[in-house]
Amino acid sequence: MIHSGPSGKRRECARRVAEKGEREEFRADARAPRGCSPGARGLQELVEALQLQNQQLENTLEEEGRRWEAAAKAAAQKAEEAEQERSRMEAELQLMKATMAELENENAMLRLVG
């Protein structure tokens, strides 16, 4: 169905291009698809270029997201390792304090005995 007026022709042209679902290749001297103004070809090329640019930006965004996610996982793992090391050192300190207390008790008993 062709609508009257310039905007109707543009809509009809866009509908035909969308129905086709694939890009038509044009030589420099080729004419636009039947019923489409020469400007429609330029608009279609602009739309395709913008779609390609949008896809590239989405890919970049996804890649950056994966990088940030990997960095966050690495940071979380390092924090967990640091916490484990702190806990190990705390346990070692408690053991040293207990050993020191035992040695002080033995020293005190030796003084009393000897």
Model pLDDT for residues 10-62, shown as the tens digit of each residue: 667 767 766 665 445 444 435 455 566 667 778 989 999 999 999 999 999 99
Report the chain's C-alpha Rg in angstroms.
Answer: 38
Contacts 24+ apart (CB under 8 A), 103-112: none
Lowest-pLDDT range of 15-19, 70-74, 99-103: 15-19
Residue 22 lies in a domain: yes
Residue 21 lies in a domain: yes
What pLDDT shows up at residue 29? 38
Spell out the residues 6+ positions from residue 3 whose beta carbon is closer than 8 angstroms to its own: 9, 11, 12
Give the residue-averaged pLDDT of 75-98.
Answer: 98
How many structural domains is the chain composed of? 1
C-alpha 92/C-alpha 86 separation (Å) is 10
Question: With a threshold of 0.75, does the pTM exceed it?
Answer: no
Residue 1 lies in a domain: no
Domain of residue 67 covers 6-113
